[in-house]
Amino acid sequence: MAIASILKTLVAHDVEFVVVGGMAAVLHGAPVHTIDLDIVYALSDANISRLELALTELGAVFRDDARKIVPNRSHLQSRGHKLLQTTAGPLDVLATIETNTTFEDLLPDSDWLEVDGSRFRVLSLSRLIVVKEQLSRAKDQAMLVLLRATLDELQKRRP
Amino acid sequence: MNRVATDQAPRKHPESDGSQGAAQSFTERHTHPAYDAAGVDRSLIRWMLGLTPSERLQHVQGTIDLVRDVKRVPNGDR
């Protein structure tokens, strides 16, 4: 499974990351469709080294550039969004989200989930809703309705 | 014939109040509104929540694979 194999590779390289965006919504049970995986990663030197190795293994290149540029350390140290294509599918590697929210900022709002034996952090559904509430794009607003309904259903299930 | 009690207040979903769904009839368990006021299909959410994270990911992956593999059939081959 392609998405799972990306996650497995990141975990195998001990990359510190949290899954955000549509795939986080799916993992929490929201019925949304997305084709890429978005992660926010820790900007420490050690983590960037681990991420670089994982991306090499995944054959990552910048997605929208015909030159097939391989993301390097300098790219990963930057605060911008790195929109990549890997051999296992699209992967968006984000240094920050919102205005300047980092991996460390998101930690208190992340849950640990497991897929095929690999454990990783996923942004909580309630925090994901806060992120989407700040975005005015039509696709984010459409997802917001589904996220709120999913959170409501989850709360009904809790004793 | 099963009849939906439309003259009563909507029943809560069996899982919402901790009651045992098995004690209710099939009709009672399956006639809570699928769509909410915002037009969201709650039955789809409840189905997704019944899956594990791995199964949810497999479902999305299955959709991606299907879209990737689907091919348009030329007019002459229909």
CATH, residue A56: 3.30.460.40
Q: Do A150 and B49 touch (CB under 8 A)?
A: yes
Beta strand A118-123 pairing with A81-86:
unpaired
Residues in chain B with CB shorter than 8 Å from the CB of A1 are 57-58, 61
Closest by Cβ to A31, choosing from B16, B45, B57: B45
- Residue B30's pLDDT is 61
- Residue B32's pLDDT is 65
Q: Which of residues 106-135 of A touch B (CB under 8 A)?
A: 113-116
Interchain CB contact of A155 with B (< 8 Å): no
| pLDDT over 60 at B5, yes or no | no
- Residue B17's pLDDT is 44
Name beta bridge partners: A118. Answer: A115
**C-beta of residue B49 within 8 angstroms of C-beta of residue A154:** yes
Residues in chain B with CB shorter than 8 Å from the CB of A116 are 54
Residue B37 counted as domain residue: yes
Mean pLDDT value across residues A17-40: 95
SS3 A36: coil
Residues in chain A with CB shorter than 8 Å from the CB of B13 are 156
Residue B50 counted as domain residue: yes
Residue B19 counted as domain residue: yes
Beta strand A89-94 pairing with A37-41:
parallel
Mean pLDDT value across residues A12-16: 98
Domain that holds residue B53: 14-70
Q: Do A30 and B60 touch (CB under 8 A)?
A: no
Residue A33 counted as domain residue: yes
Mean pLDDT value across residues A82-89: 96
Lowest pLDDT segment from A88-102, A143-157, B59-73? B59-73
pLDDT-derived band of residue A157, with 50, 70 and 90 as boundaries?
confident
Residue B7 counted as domain residue: no
Residue B76 counted as domain residue: no
pLDDT-derived band of residue B22, with 50, 70 and 90 as boundaries?
low
Q: Do B38 and A113 touch (CB under 8 A)?
A: no
- C-alpha distance from B58 to closest chain A C-alpha (Å): 7
| pLDDT over 70 at B21, yes or no | no
Residue B77 counted as domain residue: no
Q: Do B53 and A3 touch (CB under 8 A)?
A: no
Please state the ipTM of this predicted complex. Answer: 0.87
- C-alpha distance from A54 to closest chain B C-alpha (Å): 21
How many domains, chain A? 1
pLDDT-derived band of residue B24, with 50, 70 and 90 as boundaries?
low
Residue A112 counted as domain residue: yes
Residue A29 counted as domain residue: yes
Q: How far is CA A11 from CA A15, A21, A82, B5, in A?
A: 6, 18, 19, 52
pLDDT-derived band of residue B34, with 50, 70 and 90 as boundaries?
confident
Tell whether the torsion through CA atoms of A131, A132, A136 and A137 is positive or negative.
positive
User: Phi/psi of residue B41, each to 5°?
Assistant: -75, 95
- Give percent of chain A with pLDDT exceeding 90: 89
Interchain CB contact of B53 with A (< 8 Å): yes
Residue B42 counted as domain residue: yes
C-alpha closest to that of A122 among A12, A28, A2:
A28
Residues in chain B with CB shorter than 8 Å from the CB of A145 are 38-40
Mean pLDDT value across residues A24-41: 95
Residue B55 counted as domain residue: yes
Q: Do B60 and A154 touch (CB under 8 A)?
A: no
Single-letter code of the amino acid located at A110: S
- Give percent of chain B with pLDDT exceeding 70: 59
Domain that holds residue A102: 2-124
Q: Do B45 and A89 touch (CB under 8 A)?
A: no
Residue A147 counted as domain residue: no
- Residue B69's pLDDT is 86
Q: What is the DSSP letter of A44?
A: S
Q: What is the pLDDT of residues A88-122, one digit of tens each?
A: 999 999 999 998 999 999 999 999 999 999 999 99
How many domains, chain B? 1
Mean pLDDT value across residues A138-152: 94
> What does pLDDT average to over chain B?
72
Residue A47 counted as domain residue: yes
